[in-house]
């Protein structure tokens, strides 16, 4: 069996930048709930924090409910 590659810890050592606006705070809360983590910063990447395609579908749905918009899945992956 092949071992998993060592994680790139530099991705996770960037300085934390807290959400400021109500939109940012709402998005951060949605991410926290979906990912089961305590905090999300402005520079964080959904997939680096443990997100995957099934959670991306839930993310799109939650954003649609919270902001009354349609969020295409491709936007989450870009």
Residue that has been written with the tokens 């606006």 in this structure: 21
In a domain, 77, yes or no: no
pTM: 0.79
In a domain, 39, yes or no: yes
In a domain, 63, yes or no: yes
What's the CATH code of the domain at 53?
A: 1.10.1200.10
Q: What domain range is 39 assigned to?
A: 19-67
In a domain, 6, yes or no: no
Q: Contact 76/56 with Cβ under 8 angstroms?
A: yes
Domain count, the chain: 1
pLDDT per residue as tens digits for the range 29-77: 999 999 999 999 999 999 999 999 999 999 999 999 999 999 999 999 9
**Rounded Cα–Cα distance for residues 4 and 36 (Å):** 23
In a domain, 37, yes or no: yes
In a domain, 75, yes or no: no
Token digits of residue 23: 């939109």
């Amino acid at each position: 069996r092949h071992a998993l590659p060592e994680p790139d810890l530099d991705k996770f050592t960037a300085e934390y930048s807290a959400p400021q606006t109500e939109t940012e705070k709402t998005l951060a809360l949605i991410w926290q709930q979906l990912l089961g983590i305590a905090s999300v910063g402005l520079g964080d990447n959904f997939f680096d924090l443990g997100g995957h395609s099934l959670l991306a579908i839930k993310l799109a749905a939650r954003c649609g409910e919270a902001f009354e918009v349609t969020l295409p899945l491709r936007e989450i992956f870009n």
